[in-house]
């Protein structure tokens, strides 16, 4: 097991290197430069462009820039600095990481808590009325992009005179110490992103759970268990559901990078202080080290998520062993 773990981690290194090279190349291929948006400012002369490029290391060749950046990461875990904010990238990402994890965690948790029981419920009533309704709603949930749900929810709140139309807090609670009032205000804002981002996930997980469970319910051992006179509820929940949930565990691993990439537009619409909008603006602004670090982070999350899922699978499913 330990050998397997070490081998998996070692494989990540060349993969990350390859990812970083590709990302860097793509960012370099983007037209324009970091200085472009300043050109019209009366203060911005050709001399300033030169100085700025020298300060930012942009006067070096792209290969040199990449190697310097890489050396910083390897030797002192320095992910470069943001051109825009003139601060280390790690600090800028760190400020937003907490809220990103909190929102993503709650959203994922919500989606799973709703979707898994719902999937079981409709699987046990296959082709019935509830199944049809849930499937219909599920398809809509899958088809409608999360940012559109977010916009609709905002319009709905506005129509009913609400003020919780974006962000996580009302202005008066921003930066204030935690209190009961602040917590309620937080909950009042939180349900919109949770619902908007979570709906797509619910439909997906529910469909998956339903299909898995139906597969398992048709399996030989379930029939055997039933034939042996076991209580149907016991057969379903003790044996069938436990097996059916396994593929979902690997799906969960794949959802980790979604924390950054999957919800960018919804996060912008909802004005969430998360990493998604940061990636978007850094790509637009050619703030290359912020964008690179975030893209690298997303691929790392994908790989770690996969690894965790595989390990979890081995843990829940006695048929899987790594050695």
Binding region for another protein (CB under 8 A): 31-33, 36-48, 51-52, 55, 84-87, 91, 95-96, 151, 154, 157-158, 162-171, 174-175, 268-271, 273, 277-278, 281, 284
CB of 212 to another protein, least distance (A): 39
- Which residue, 38 or 315, is less far from another protein as judged by CB? 38
- Which residue, 260 or 270, is less far from another protein as judged by CB? 270
CB of 55 to another protein, least distance (A): 6
Tokens, residue 301:
């999350």
- Which residue, 48 or 224, is less far from another protein as judged by CB? 48
Residue 214 makes CB contacts below 8 A (sequence gap 6+) with 123, 126
CB of 14 to another protein, least distance (A): 34
- Which residue, 38 or 136, is less far from another protein as judged by CB? 38
- Which residue, 28 or 55, is less far from another protein as judged by CB? 55
- Which residue, 36 or 59, is less far from another protein as judged by CB? 36
Distances (CA, A) of 224 to 61, 177, 191, 249, 319: 69, 59, 45, 26, 19
CB of 25 to another protein, least distance (A): 19
CB of 106 to another protein, least distance (A): 18
Tokens, residue 235:
């057969």
CB of 260 to another protein, least distance (A): 15
């Amino acid at each position: 097991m330990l050998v397997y773990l070490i081998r998996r981690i070692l494989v990540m290194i060349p993969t990350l290197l390859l990812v970083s090279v590709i990302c860097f190349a793509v960012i370099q291929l983007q037209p324009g430069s970091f200085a472009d948006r300043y050109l019209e400012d009366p203060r911005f002369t050709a001399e300033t462009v030169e100085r700025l490029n020298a300060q930012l290391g942009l006067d070096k060749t792209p290969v040199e820039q990449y190697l310097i950046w890489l050396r910083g990461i390897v030797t002192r875990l320095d992910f470069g600095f943001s051109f825009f904010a003139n601060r280390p990238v790690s600090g800028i990402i760190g400020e937003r990481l907490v809220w990103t994890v909190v929102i993503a965690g709650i959203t994922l948790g919500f989606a799973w808590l709703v979707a898994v029981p719902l999937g079981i419920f409709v699987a046990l009533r296959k082709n019935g009325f509830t199944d049809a309704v849930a499937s219909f709603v599920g398809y809509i949930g899958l088809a409608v992009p999360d940012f559109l749900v977010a916009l609709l929810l905002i319009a709905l709140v506005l129509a009913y005179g609400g003020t919780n139309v974006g962000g996580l807090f009302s202005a008066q609670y921003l930066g204030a110490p935690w209190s009961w009032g602040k917590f309620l205000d937080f909950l009042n804002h939180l349900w919109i992103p949770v619902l908007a981002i979570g709906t797509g996930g619910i439909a997906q997980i529910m469909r998956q759970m339903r299909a898995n469970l139906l597969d398992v319910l048709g399996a030989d051992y379930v029939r055997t268990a039933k034939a042996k006179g076991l209580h149907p509820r016991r057969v379903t929940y003790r044996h069938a559901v436990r097996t059916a949930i396994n593929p979902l565990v690997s799906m969960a691993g794949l959802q980790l990078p979604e924390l950054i990439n999957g919800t960018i537009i919804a996060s912008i619409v909802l004005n969430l202080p998360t990493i998604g909008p940061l990636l978007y603006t850094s790509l637009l602004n050619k703030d290359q080290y912020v964008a690179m670090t975030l893209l690298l982070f997303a691929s790392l999350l994908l790989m770690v998520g996969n690894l965790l899922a595989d390990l979890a699978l081995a843990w829940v499913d006695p048929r899987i062993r790594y050695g």
